[in-house]
A and B are shown apart, each in its own frame.
Chain A
């Protein structure tokens, strides 16, 4: 028997592709959960879009957005919530369960790269959630509010690329949070802190343009902004031309840095792995 690693890059690539496909299919079996999630995103979308409208009625043109753009921003952020896993979760849930059961030791001995395996699975999950919990709430939003969505397919393609990079950045952050499980045995607390920070600094709750002074600068420099604010910027055409390239560069830079950090952390963790359970 040859292990997939011996088989060269094509086979390894095929493994990751089938892992991603498997994750996509797995999430698609949770039908009731998907419907419930889509409803929840839509409910929150209506509430938050209404508050945005109230704010923009008091302050038209705030942060360089008109009212329709501000409302659109809200719906895009709702669409990205599950896709980019701003709230945490996705592969993290599986990984956490494997820490608890001790199965994590088996994962480390698989002939496929540990980090790559989970990244592929998370991309598959994100693809499914972009289609369901991403697109459907935006349709609800478009039915109830005046949205400023672009007509050009090119802008949508640019947006899609930004979303893929957003998922990788988010994965990098969540992977680091999960790695603490090797030391803490329970990464629930770290995960909870991460949720708070991502919700706030990703632009999920409010466009980062509304953050004052130093707080705003900090928010725009942190990797979290790559998760919601930047894809929304692309769709609302706030960044075009070289500005768009700089945006992708920012996302790529953080993605590479976080993945490298995760890899280093993983190497450390493997050396001192303590397996729980029998």
Chain B
């Protein structure tokens, strides 16, 4: 097999590899149909129960740290949809550590397809769509329930937010998994930034200490997933008092995150020493 030339052809080849492997795994999970149906239902329910907790909280109060249920639902829907989409696309990279430990990463490196694409599609399962579908349903509901004056820039902001949010979470999944090149068992560290980050973003920023919110702007750039653009969509003041430009900076943040994740991956791969087994 000849490696394709040029960055565009290489990216196309990576996407095609991802698609072929994911398709194979879909066929394989379909071998156990009852189990698949149950896990898809469970996956959809997981997200619903997350939201049920929010509903239970709002059953006891009209506002949480000054935000209404519809506004919190918008945060919930956008955060969970971005995480859900990223999880479908690259969520499997968390299995890197196991491959490093067992030495089976070598098999991926000698195959004529990009290792990252192979790893991202590994054990791909359609049941992961459950989270995404549930999140989009909540987002759809919140959009009808919100009391927002919909100008064209606000309307446009919603799909841009979802796209950038997905890319930022993809970068976090990939970037954090690279820790496992050195520290094979630390798969759960990734969860604290991805799943933990998504949980954080489901609640209004006013719930949290200012230092924590500042950390999501200037440290791990989670605030660009939905908090900052949501301030513009919902017409709310910024608890940190940042310049308005920050609310529009999500595409830049996403690009920087992807760049950093790519660098981390290349560094990790270069440092990788096979176990030899």
Residues of A within 8 A of B (CB): 30-33, 35-37, 39-40, 43-44, 46-48, 50-51, 53-55, 57-59, 62, 184-190, 192-193, 195-196, 199-200, 205-206, 210-212
Among B34, B186, B206, find the residue whose CB has the most chain A CB atoms closer than 10 A.
Answer: B186
A40, B189: Cβ atoms closer than 8 Å:
yes
Query: In the complex, what distance in Å separates the CA atom of A206 from the CA atom of B50?
Result: 10
Q: Which residues of chain A are within 8 angstroms of B52 by Cβ–Cβ distance?
A: 200
Q: Which residues of chain A are within 8 angstroms of B32 by Cβ–Cβ distance?
A: 184-186, 188-189
Min Cβ gap A71→B in Å is 13
The verdict on B39 contacting chain A, using a C-beta distance below 8 Å, is: yes
Query: In the complex, what distance in Å separates the CA atom of A30 from the CA atom of B212?
Result: 30
A47, B186: Cβ atoms closer than 8 Å:
no
A32, B53: Cβ atoms closer than 8 Å:
no
Query: In the complex, what distance in Å separates the CA atom of A161 from the CA atom of B127?
Result: 38
A193, B38: Cβ atoms closer than 8 Å:
yes
Min Cβ gap B137→A in Å is 17
- Chain B residues 182-232 with CB under 8 Å of chain A are 183-189, 191-192, 196, 199-200, 203, 206-209, 212
B192, A40: Cβ atoms closer than 8 Å:
yes
A58, B64: Cβ atoms closer than 8 Å:
yes
B60, A36: Cβ atoms closer than 8 Å:
no
Residues of B within 8 A of A (CB): 32, 34-39, 41-43, 45-46, 49-50, 52-53, 56-57, 59-61, 63-65, 127, 183-189, 191-192, 196, 199-200, 203, 206-209, 212
Q: Which residues of chain A are within 8 angstroms of B208 by Cβ–Cβ distance?
A: 47, 50
Ordered by A's residue number, 8 sampled pairs between the chains whose C-beta atoms are within 8 Å are: A33-B188, A39-B192, A54-B203, A55-B60, A58-B63, A189-B32, A189-B35, A192-B38
Q: A43-B192, A196-B42 are in contact. Are A35 and B186 (CB under 8 A)?
A: yes
Q: Which residues of chain A are within 8 angstroms of B196 by Cβ–Cβ distance?
A: 40, 43-44, 47
Query: In the complex, what distance in Å separates the CA atom of A53 from the CA atom of B212?
Result: 15
B188, A55: Cβ atoms closer than 8 Å:
no
Query: In the complex, what distance in Å separates the CA atom of A10 from the CA atom of B53?
Result: 48
If A36-B188, A199-B49 are given as contacts, then 8 extra A-B residue pairs at C-beta distance below 8 Å, sorted by A number, are A36-B187, A46-B212, A51-B64, A55-B64, A58-B64, A193-B42, A205-B49, A210-B56
Min Cβ gap B269→A in Å is 20
B56, A44: Cβ atoms closer than 8 Å:
no
Q: Which residues of chain B are within 8 angstroms of A48 by Cβ–Cβ distance?
A: 199
Q: Which residues of chain A are within 8 angstroms of B34 by Cβ–Cβ distance?
A: 184, 189
Main secondary structure of the interface of A (DSSP, over half): helix
Query: In the complex, what distance in Å separates the CA atom of A169 from the CA atom of B187?
Result: 28
B38, A189: Cβ atoms closer than 8 Å:
yes
Min Cβ gap A99→B in Å is 12
In the complex, what residue of chain B is closest to A40 when comparing beta carbons? B192
A206, B207: Cβ atoms closer than 8 Å:
no
A47, B188: Cβ atoms closer than 8 Å:
no
Min Cβ gap B51→A in Å is 11
A32, B186: Cβ atoms closer than 8 Å:
yes
Q: Which residues of chain B are within 8 angstroms of A196 by Cβ–Cβ distance?
A: 42, 45-46, 49
Query: In the complex, what distance in Å separates the CA atom of A40 from the CA atom of B190?
Result: 9
Q: Which residues of chain A are within 8 angstroms of B185 by Cβ–Cβ distance?
A: 30-33, 36
Query: In the complex, what distance in Å separates the CA atom of A54 from the CA atom of B196?
Result: 18
B41, A193: Cβ atoms closer than 8 Å:
yes
A62, B60: Cβ atoms closer than 8 Å:
yes
List 10 tightest A-B contacts by C-beta distance, closest first. Answer: A189-B38, A192-B42, A189-B35, A33-B185, A58-B61, A36-B188, A40-B192, A36-B189, A43-B192, A32-B185
Q: Which of A32, A40, A43, A55 is within 8 Å of B57, CB to CB?
A: A55
Query: In the complex, what distance in Å separates the CA atom of A200 from the CA atom of B208?
Result: 24
Among A30, A62, A185, A196, find the residue whose CB has the most chain B CB atoms closer than 10 A.
Answer: A196
Query: In the complex, what distance in Å separates the CA atom of A182 from the CA atom of B60?
Result: 44
Q: Which residues of chain B are within 8 angstroms of A189 by Cβ–Cβ distance?
A: 32, 34-39, 42
Among A47, A62, A190, find the residue whose CB has the most chain B CB atoms closer than 10 A.
Answer: A47
Q: Which of B38, B60, B184, B189 is within 8 Å of A210, CB to CB?
A: B60
B187, A188: Cβ atoms closer than 8 Å:
no
